[in-house]
Amino acid sequence: MQRLDLRQLLSQKLSPQQIQFIKLLQIPTVELEARIKEEMEINPALEEGREEGDTDTYDDASGDDYEGEDDYGKDDVDIKDYINEDEISGYKMQGDRGGDDDDDREMPIAVTTSLTDNLLDQLGFLSLDDKQFAIGMQLIGSIDSDGYIRRELSSIANDLAFSQNIETSEEEIEQVLQMIQTFDPAGIAARDLPECLLLQLQRREQDSTTRLAERIISEAFDEFTKKHYHKIQAKFGVSDAELKDAVDQIIKLNPKPGGAGAGMTRVQYIIPDFILTNENGQLQLSLNSRNAPDLRISRSYADMFDAYEKSDKKDKKLKETVTFVKQKLDAAKWFIDAIRQRQNTLLRTMESIIKYQHDFFVEGDESLLRPMILKDIAEDIGMDISTVSRVANSKAVQTEFGIYPLKYFFSEGIATDSGEDASSREVKHILKEIIDKESKRKPLSDEKIEKMLNDKGYNIARRTVAKYREQLNIPVARLRKEL
């Protein structure tokens, strides 16, 4: 028999305004511009810019004043809820000074399109039939982010058979693969490291040094990786100088061509979200003016309300029209409030980061960075850690020393003999200096580096040294050894 129960549950739901604010907060400046254009396309009540002589702007209200319930069906609609006769620049961001100043202050940094797009473009230049083109597409889709194809050709043949109903052999796939391996960047689509290095050597001038380098990779790769240079020298009967030239050529090759492939593509630009200047020792922070344009409520929609106020309010069709208009106006108000809340949150977060890392922003010395985690900033500005995380993960600041992502300034603390905490970034900086100054004929082991850091007052374990070394992309001592 079916049983009915009555339960009381306490749950938390985000209002539409909160959801909109969260989405806007986590996107960078360039994406925000696109988001604003998208909103104006779907909401005719939202307009950009100000017409000459038009002083009507949105009232300076906070998005927190909403209670989340809409009363679209009510008759007591007042145009004053949406239009203020005072001239208020409500949507301009701090730092928006107008004129040509903005262009002078923006220093965009470049990012690139994907490696896959680049390879597909090159595939289109080959004279392939439909079957070969499909094989090429499958091979490119099988390339990992570092530029290698690690799937067996038999597995790729099975994929083509099951997913695209294309019967092919490993020989046909190998033929197309060899074409793709001629693409830029050099070494792409290799199946292992030796093949990757050989593909790059084959594009170089075929002199005696290059030919020796190819033989080392083909016939003595195991000895090369273990730094057994005396065995290689004895095997090929070459002099110290000849071996050194060949080894130098090999170590300059790119073991991960996928990382370089994106550089061959079209460049897009990311505009920093914050601009920090040093005015006679005083740090001045402003939000990039491109974070949002002037926004306002549409005058034509306001005129509809004027017509409604003067009309017979019992007209059902007119009432339905006004209900629709009010929905659009409320949506425009919510969006503008979310934009303004975003500005306030960004500024408060960045100001707190500057307070914590003041010495770095003045001097630009990485060793001056203090330990700082998301919780520190969240407690300082009285916001949730998730809010600070959304800001830090997708924003960048322009300083006199370059453009930095905000997450660059967050790091764990390492205890020191003085009882204070040092930033893990400071420790990495010192670790790199130690390795840069070491003898390349006798590189330092992680244990020795640990002892040196302990002597400098940093209480750090060997496994932490290894972790930081890997994060800096520095190989182990055995692989740092040179002739």
Question: What is the DSSP code string of 135-177?
Answer: HHHHHHHTB-TTSBB-S-HHHHHHHHHHHH-----HHHHHHHH
pLDDT class of 198 with cuts at 50, 70, 90: very high
Range from 117-121, 128-132, 477-481 carrying the lowest mean pLDDT:
477-481
Each residue's pLDDT tens digit, 204-260: 888 889 999 999 999 988 888 888 888 888 889 888 888 888 888 888 888 888 874
Q: What's residue 422's pLDDT?
A: 65
Q: What's residue 77's pLDDT?
A: 43
Q: What's residue 214's pLDDT?
A: 92
pLDDT class of 404 with cuts at 50, 70, 90: confident
Using DSSP's 3-state secondary structure scheme, residue 383 falls into: coil
Does 310 or 107 have the greater pLDDT score? 310
Task: Please name the residues in contact with 295: beta carbons below 8 A apart, sequence gap of 6 or more.
Answer: 36, 46, 47, 48, 58, 90, 91, 332, 335, 336, 339
Residue 457 has pLDDT above 60, yes or no: yes
Each residue's pLDDT tens digit, 323-348: 777 788 788 888 888 888 888 888 99
Q: Is the pTM of this model over 0.85?
A: no
Each residue's pLDDT tens digit, 360-372: 898 888 778 888 8
Nearest to 453 by CA among 419, 475, 476, 426: 426
Which DSSP category does 362 fall into? Answer: H
Mean pLDDT of 86-90: 33
Does 168 or 317 have the greater pLDDT score? 168
Share of the chain above pLDDT 70, in %: 75
Which DSSP category does 82 fall into? Answer: T
Residue 321 has pLDDT above 60, yes or no: yes
Share of the chain above pLDDT 90, in %: 10
Q: What's residue 302's pLDDT?
A: 65
pLDDT class of 471 with cuts at 50, 70, 90: confident
pLDDT class of 68 with cuts at 50, 70, 90: very low
Phi and psi angles of residue 142, each rounded to the nearest 5 degrees, phi first: -90, -5
